[in-house]
Structure 1
Amino acid sequence: MNGDNVFDEFYDNTELEPGGANGTVLRTRDVVVPHMPGLGRAWQLVYTTTTTFGNPVTASGIVLEPNPAICNGAITRPIVVYCTTFHGLGGRCAPSQLLVAGTEPDARGIAAALAQGWKVAVPDGIGLGITGAGPHHFLAAHAGAHAALDLARAVCTHGLNRAPVAVWGYADGGRIAAAAGELQPSYAPELDLRAIAAGAVIRDPGALITGLDGGPWSGMAFAAMVGLARAYSHLPVDHLLTDVGVRAVTEASELDLTRLLVEYLAPLSVWCERPDPWNDPVWRHVLSHECLGAKTPLAPVHLYHGLLDTLVPIESARTIFAEYISRGVRVSWSEYDVPHLSAAALGLPDALKALRAGFARPPDRGGSPAVT
């Protein structure tokens, strides 16, 4: 990934009027995705979605359709919305671009879903991909969930047949997947959502940022400040920044993850007027609004995590698991005696099993969920 932004008119921003239908496809184009076994056709799209607070915006993504030979003659293929890990705040690090370049870090999970005969839709997320719309709304779970659910809407309405949908992701992608499960009953009730698979879920961004700040992952803590500030730009979230901090935010907004980790190793206090910016009342409000686990998914949820995860401690997902159980969510759990990156790979078979079970289950017709 690099932070250089090459102009591509396909990704031009489109001004939208309030009141339009979410998930409306604005334009598409076929693309070639190299090194993707089982791929039949791939196409990028630009579609409509909404920000955290319901403002209409354009977003981009990519859809990968399996080779018909592995679909067993199925007319309506299940759709997996695959939410990738955090790639950066700007530049050419949108998944829809990285897949075409052959450099997408999450290609293994995407290929695994494609090999099941499922159609895979990958959202770029709000503020990433679309020219001039950044920076990416990193850690803004509501915004990410809107983009994921509206991509499912776009893919469903773009074809002739409505299809069952699942959402899958890991780390920040797992956070978005879990948020999509929580928001779908109110935001996109017409979707036939069958399952959620979410690994290394970040429940509380405040706890994550505090744990990362000042360590080798400080660049992600800084990126969190930038992404959440963008998502909550109607609030005075930048009032703590020094002049140096303001310039740093501007520069970081165009960087991918690699450069963020290299160039923003300093603690957040270096860029702010107080050593504990997250204890500011405005930021406490933002972070409390972004905690997961307060709403009830109706679709079954599979959570998985690494016991030795030092990036996203396992207590984060265990808290969500307990919350879901207390409200009767159909939730399953897998844990592995490995660190963060290894758990992403080890969790693939269990995640695929959970998604297959979801697609095999008849759609819900209402009623209360039950624990499994």
Structure 2
Amino acid sequence: MSPWHLTRRRLFGLAGAGAALAGAGAAAGYGLSGAPAADGVVAFRGEHQAGIVTPAQDRLHFVALDLTSTDRAAVADLLRRWTAAAERMTTGRETAEGGAIPANRYAAPADTGEALGLPAASLTLTFGVGPGFFDKLGIADRRPPRLAALPRFQGDRLDPARSGGDLCIQACADDPQVAVHAVRNLVRDGFGVTEVRWSQLGFGRTSSTSTGQATPRNLFGFKDGTNNLKAEEPDLLAQHVWVGDEGPDWLRGGSYLVARRIRMHIETWDRSGLDEQEQIVGRDKGEGAPLTGTAEFDLADLAATGPSGPVIPDDSHIRLASAEANGGARMLRRGYNFVDGSDGRGHLDAGLFFVAFVRDPLTQYVPMQRRLARSDALSEYLEHNGSALFAVPPGLAEGDDHWGRALLA
């Protein structure tokens, strides 16, 4: 084990928070790329929030919260405390000094303790605000016009208990207990100011966000996100992901997060023939190649025709989701598989928790989803039952900068 390997147990014994953080930063070789260092620590501060272009980790715990207070000062104080706790947890430490084992054994521990002894596990915590945040705090004039509830798309069966939210926190890590611990402790600290609206656990990332990652598979068994934007494409990220001068000051350099809970009717899909599955998706199931190619990353020839018409069918998923079909619009996908038990009727409640980061949801995501909902052959096997949109501010500067500071100043 490296002498610089960081765990919550080891850092708990260091003399002070400042010394521990400085040591962790120097050891981890923090940078602005969002990539984890050798010890699994991802830089918390930088130009953009971590957890967007960071190489996608294997596990997710996503939570949407509602404000229960309209006191702007109380909310600002909570965001300050959340930032301090989040920064500690992403370096493998407990949420606060005193942690899970306080000196006063009759006091409630400051940290719930289930991550004691576990490494940082590439934990990232990404913060966003929803439309209601502004109305409840009396700052509606600061809400960007693009931040509004997503429209209802054809076929949507949205559950209000799985949609919306005033705030969100996305925790991604390579250890599920590390991600759950992070969300659990931030939720706990928000008592009296926020409450959970809904949450989602995810496993097995369904997109790669770095060229160093292999393309994963979704629960239909197909490689997912082959043409996803990558961290190594800064020009494309600037064009499609990061909010520019068109956004308010507090959002420039940030992004918009689209979240959709998509139940997949896997039992019906599993009874479909392989040829039908490949025609619906537009790709070969084994290699992941488009039906006009032989290798996964071959460009799909959407103009190719055969005896029965287009080789890649007009209603195939990859055609309708392609940049060519959507005016060149692209997005950074960061979704996860989920299995949340069964529905009581012999079917798994399983599917894709779709997460995407875009510069403009109204010109990038909405038109594409309308096209998919109307014409995609895959829609027969999908049910969208959760939906939310959040604005994700840019990253934090060094020093005392904290979540929401520029927004609530």
TM-score bracket, normalised by the shorter chain, equals under 0.3
Which protein has greater RCO, CA pairs closer than 8 Å, 6+ apart? 2
| Structure ranking higher in helix proportion | 1
